[in-house]
Amino acid sequence: MLNLGVLISGRGSNLRALIDACAQPGFPAKISCVIANNGSAKGLDYAKDASIPAFVIPHKDFASRQAFEEALDATMEKHDVQLVCLAGFMRLLTAWFTERWRDRLVNIHPSLLPAFPGVDVHQKVLDYGAKVTGCTVHFVRAEMDHGPIILQAVVPVLDNDTEEVLAARVLEAEHKAYPSAVRLIAEGCVNVFNERTFIAKTDDGAGIALFSPPLFSDRP
């Protein structure tokens, strides 16, 4: 069983997806602790309901970013964390932390990286007129929204989408993608070489493509 530490800042919906996945028979990971950087994070309630040790470590209590991260690190080491999962954790991490947890620190971002990094992602997608978007699970590096990509899920962008509607569609994909990526890592199927991941266990999907809008031949 791979021990997970989950860092959150808000609603914790991806934490909830990981909790649900870990509760399934045969899932190869468990959540050892949850840490929030503010006490109002709703995800703390999910941890409490699942009897997972949860902690509040306010970043404002520390004189520097690294001092805050050292407190995170100490708590996770105490709980034997092997993989850190960022789940809506709204703090940029220093090179000290990302190197200390190199290839043991993952994030989920609501776009198909490297497209649309940063914030306000869904509005950027709509403003650009993209026809597909999705989410990306990746290993974390010091540069924001960079790092070897583990798994991506694609969803269509529809003509009548609003930012809220599109965000909800992507979030549904996130809740499936994050546990799937964690399973791949826990089963030893993900290898990193030259800043690329190579997946040792996957179905052969060569030649399969998603078209949005559908090709004429695919339409009813």
The pLDDT score that the predictor gives to residue 215 is 73
Report phi then psi at 19, rounded to 5: -60, -45
Structurally, the chain folds into a number of domains equal to: 2
- Examine the fold and report which residue of 101, 135, 151 is the final residue of a domain before the chain moves on: 101
The pLDDT score that the predictor gives to residue 188 is 95
Do 4 and 57 lie in a common domain? Answer: yes
205 burial (CB, 10 Å; 0-12 / 13-18 / 19+) is exposed
Do 172 and 216 lie in a common domain? Answer: yes
- Examine the fold and report which residue of 101, 127, 155 is the final residue of a domain before the chain moves on: 101
Residue 194: give the domain boundaries.
107-220
The pLDDT score that the predictor gives to residue 162 is 98
The pLDDT score that the predictor gives to residue 214 is 75
Do 22 and 36 lie in a common domain? Answer: yes
Do 60 and 96 lie in a common domain? Answer: yes
Do 85 and 164 lie in a common domain? Answer: no
- Examine the fold and report which residue of 48, 78, 101 is the final residue of a domain before the chain moves on: 101
94: its two tokens: 């220093």
pTM of the model: 0.93
- The CATH code of the domain that includes 114 is 3.40.50.170
Catalytic residue from among 109, 122, 138, 175: 109
Averaged pLDDT, groups of 10, the chain, 220 residues long: 97 97 97 97 96 97 97 98 97 97 98 97 98 97 96 95 98 96 96 94 62 65
The pLDDT score that the predictor gives to residue 218 is 54
Q: Is there a catalytic annotation at residue 109?
A: yes
